């Protein structure tokens, strides 16, 4: 099997519910996600066209996360505070929106949904929260 990787950037706010220091506050990041897809080569010699990864994965990020707030579904104070703003995009995560949980969510939930029917699957997602810090989720083989 061969792989290809697509880089997608987005901006979003979040907070880490229950965090012991400053990440407990609402704040934002300029995220960079690296999506590594695996599959057989097509007749042109590609795993998948890079524009398909951008359209499907990047489209989901644009719709759900970009320029919005990513909050833990049990973080009622943050949901109430951000929800009081008119026309604010909120995405509720089933887990605390740490870089690790977000990478895993992209790998195990968003990837299979958005890439269905393409013949490829995501095998890893690396999510850069800052230029110095990232988390990587890798599919179990």
**Ordered structural domains, the chain, with CATH:** 2-138 (3.30.479.10)
Active site residue 23: yes
- Dump pLDDT digits (tens) for 48-63: 999 999 999 999 999 9
Find the catalytic residue in 17, 36, 104, 129: 129
Find the catalytic residue in 11, 27, 55, 67: 67
Distances in Å between the Cα of 65 and the Cα atoms of 7, 92, 110, 120 are: 15, 10, 12, 23
Find the catalytic residue in 4, 23, 74, 134: 23
Active site residue 133: no
Non-local (6+) Cβ contacts of 96 within 8 A are 16, 17, 18, 72, 75
Q: Is the pTM of this model over 0.85?
A: yes
Q: Which of 11, 123, 3, 13 is nearest to 61 (CA)?
A: 11
Banded model confidence at residue 13, pLDDT cuts 50, 70, 90: very high
| Full DSSP string of 77-131 | HHHHHHHTSTT--EEEESS---HHHHHHHIIIIIHHHHTTTSS-EEEEEEEESSS
- Dump pLDDT digits (tens) for 54-98: 999 999 999 999 999 999 999 999 999 999 999 999 999 999 999
């Amino acid at each position: 099997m061969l792989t290809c990787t697509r880089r997608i950037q987005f901006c979003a706010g979040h907070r880490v519910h229950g965090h012991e220091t400053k990440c407990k506050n609402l704040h934002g990041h300029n995220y960079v996600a690296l999506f590594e897809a695996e599959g057989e080569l097509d007749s042109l010699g590609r795993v998948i066209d890079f524009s398909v990864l951008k359209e499907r994965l990047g489209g989901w990020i644009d719709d759900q996360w970009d320029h919005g707030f990513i909050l833990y579904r049990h973080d009622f104070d943050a949901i109430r505070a951000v929800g009081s703003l008119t026309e604010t995009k909120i995405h509720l995560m089933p887990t605390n929106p740490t870089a690790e949980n977000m990478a895993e969510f992209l790998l195990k939930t968003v990837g299979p949904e958005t890439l269905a029917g393409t013949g490829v699957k995501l095998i890893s997602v690396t999510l850069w929260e800052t230029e110095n810090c990232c988390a990587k989720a890798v599919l179990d083989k």
